[in-house]
Chains A and B, each alone.
Chain A
Amino acid sequence: MSSEIQERSDIDQIPVAARPATTPPPRPQTWVLKLIMAVTGSVFVLFILFHLAGNLKVYLPDDPQGHFNEYAHWLRTLLNPLLPGSTFLWIFRATLVACLCLHVYSGLTLWIRAHRLRGRHARKVHATKHHLTGRTMLWSGLIILSFIVFHLLDLTIGRGVESKDFSTKAVYKLEGGEVVTDAYSNLVHSFQRPEVAIFYVVVMVVIAFHLSHGLWSVINDFGGTAPRTRTVFLFLADLVALIVVIGNASIPLAVLAGGISV
């Protein structure tokens, strides 16, 4: 009787291998990386919606070119009396680049960890939406990353892939008399190249996939366990993805169709 109690209470009976590790977990911890992805990803979602609102000015019925160029100019000179020149724009850009670096670093680290820990045998999976979007996050992410580079070279910097009519010179006269860059014409000239327009449309679909799974992950990474909140987020994730793809992809299509021109 007493020996039985002794045996049960004796922690040394447990083989060493079966005890919890005494070393700290791999750093940065997985949950921290996931949280970084959620926070930086949310920043991108807000940025994309902000960007979309600006893009949609091309659809304004009355003088879209003026409105679009005015908006582009406003963006460059935001908070101007307080911060001189394009200071705010550069703070904005630096934040986005920092978020991008953190997002890509976390994503790749998690991907490597996940790959190391999957087993050897083949797996048959359920044909769910989350499989299509969730398991392709790395690839859609890499496509988006290369798109960002292309998009900057095409419409911001104008080097390598820009249209032959691209110009960063201040040539457009705003209503107020200020002469600014004609961002609107740059956009139209770029999208008048069919292969570029189609590339933009395809990438928007990829972004929608990435967004729809990303926003769903956000609620999980922030620890949202309330069933109703989760359902709402599941719906929101698809809604935002749909808005982004319809709003953005329609612009190159409209240019191709001749609905938007200089």
Chain B
Amino acid sequence: MRLILEVWRQDGPDAEGSFETHEITDATPEMSLLELLDRLNHQLVENDQDPVAFESDCREGICGTCGLDVNGVPHGPEDNVPACGQHVRSFTDGQTVRFTPFRARSFPVVRDLIVDRTGLDRIIQAGGTISVDAGTAPDADTLLVTHDDAERALDFAACIGCGACVSACPNGAAYLYTGAKLAHLALIPHGKEERAKRARSMIAQMQHEFGPCSQIGECALACPAEIPLLAIAAVNRERLRAGFKWRKPN
């Protein structure tokens, strides 16, 4: 298969950046999009050019490291699949495929297709710690969780933190991400003591760097972990609930 690749090249966070066009003549349909970039890099190195910088780790859809926009869509043309799980067979012979870094003001470009996603980590950090009994192991079944709650909590915990929701959002909002984290922790008894405080600080931190939600639903279509769209409502739900909670005196 022959593919024309338009790849965003940017030397550093403050560099101007521009598109570079390359041709791959020996792409195969079963190649993943990351393998396609690997192939491009081999070709670039063979011709004494700088390889394209992009992130990847597990290449099996669980690490959340890969993250780039393909033809203007986070991760690639298929919905709810990470870039490592998307294949060249989505394209036709001779098609132009455009690779750009994740799009969001909150994700500054580090180099080429690598963006700085620590904004998401700061939301997690703002969540802080939870109170747990750090002594000997508790008796079994002292913390009861129903099967349904456990399943739902795990559905939200499936978030791999890749940031595709932010890139997909026309507003650069991190509601799906923050909502998934809040909903996940709100469904289980661990950290119940900090529930209101966690909602206040995580949502406050989110507002520092990310945009407001417009309920368009683009995030849930991009999410490789298939976090349901109702996670965006979990943000306001947790924040409203925290608003009704008595704050402990300082």
Pairwise interchain contact A118-B172, C-beta atoms closer than 8 A: yes
B208: A residues at CB distance < 8 A: 21, 23, 25-26
Residue pair A31, B211 in contact (C-beta under 8 Å): no
In the bound complex, what is the Cα–Cα distance between A219 and B237 (angstroms)?
10
B234 and A225 form a contact (CB under 8 A): yes
Contact residues in B for A193 (Cβ distance below 8 Å): none
Interface residue A74 (Cβ < 8 Å from any Cβ of B)? no
How many residues of A are counted as interface, with CB atoms below 8 angstroms from the partner's CB atoms?
48
> Is A137 part of the binding interface, using a Cβ–Cβ cutoff of 8 Å?
yes
Instruction: Assess whether B212 is in contact with A110, with CB atoms less than 8 Å apart.
Output: yes
Q: Which of A115, A116, A220 contacts B215 (CB 8 A)?
A: A220
Give which listed residue, B102, B168, B212, B238, contacts A34 with CB less than 8 A: B212
B111 located at the interface, meaning its Cβ lies under 8 Å from any Cβ of chain A in the complex: no
Verify if A134 is at the interface (C-beta below 8 Å from B): yes
A115 to B102, CA, bound (A): 16
A34 proximity list for chain B (CB < 8 A)? 212-213, 236
Q: List residues of A (86-145) whose CB comes within 8 Å of B's CBs.
A: 110, 113-126, 128, 130-131, 134-135, 137
Kindly identify which residue among B104, B123, B214, B234 contacts A119, using a CB–CB cutoff of 8 Å.
B104
Report B-chain residues with C-beta under 8 Å of the C-beta of A17: 118
Asked if residues B211 and A124 are in contact (CB atoms below 8 Å), the reply is no
Mask, B63-98, CB within 8 Å of A = 1, is: 000000101110000010000000000000000000
Q: Which residues of A contact B125 (CB under 8 A)?
A: 18-20
Task: Encode contact with A along B201-215: 1 for CB under 8 Å, 0 otherwise.
Answer: 101110111111111
CA distance A213 to B214 in the complex (A): 9
Contact B216 A134 (CB under 8 A): yes
The reply to whether A230 and B212 form a contact with Cβ atoms under 8 Å apart is no
> Residue on A with the closest CB to B236?
A223
Do A118 and B236 touch across chains, with their CB atoms under 8 A apart?
no
- Interchain CB contact under 8 A, B217 and A130: yes
In the assembled complex, the CB of B215 is this many whole angstroms from the nearest CB of chain A, namely 5
B207 touches A29 (CB 8 A): yes
B126 close to A (CB within 8 Å)? yes
Confirm or deny: B39 has a beta carbon within 8 angstroms of a beta carbon on chain A. no
Q: How many A-B pairs with Cβ below 8 Å?
A: 155
Considering only residues 146-177 of chain A, those with a C-beta below 8 Å from chain B are: none
Choose from A18, A116, A130, A219 the contact partner of B105 (Cβ within 8 Å). A116
Bound-complex Cα distance A125 to B79 (A): 11
Query: Is there contact, CB below 8 Å, between A119 and B215?
Result: no
List, in ascending order, chain B residues with CB within 8 A of A30's CB.
Answer: 207, 212
Within 8 A of B (CB), among A197-214: 213
- CA separation between A130 and B241, bound complex, in Å? 27
| Cβ contact within 8 Å between B170 and A118 | yes
Closest B residue by C-beta to A27? B207
In the complex the two chains form, what is the Cα distance from A26 to B210 in whole Å? 11
Cβ-defined contact, A18 with B122, below 8 A: yes
Shortest C-beta distance, B245 to chain A (Å), equals 14
Q: Is A258 part of the contact surface with B, judged by Cβ < 8 Å?
A: no
- Could you say which residues of chain A place their CB within 8 Å of the CB of B69? 121, 123
Docked complex Cα distance between A222 and B238 (Å) = 10
Question: In the complex, A213→B204 CA distance in Å?
Answer: 26
> Are B240's CB and A222's CB within 8 A?
yes
Among the listed B79, B102, B234, which residue makes an inter-chain contact with A223, where contact means beta carbons less than 8 Å apart?
A: B234
11 contacts between A and B (CB under 8 A): A17-B118, A20-B205, A34-B212, A110-B212, A117-B172, A121-B69, A121-B72, A130-B216, A223-B235, A223-B240, A223-B241
Complex A-B, nearest 3 residue pairs according to Cβ-Cβ distance, in ascending order:
A223-B237, A119-B103, A114-B171
Q: Which residues of A contact B (CB under 8 A)?
A: 17-21, 23-26, 29-31, 33-35, 110, 113-126, 128, 130-131, 134-135, 137, 213, 216-217, 219-225, 227, 230
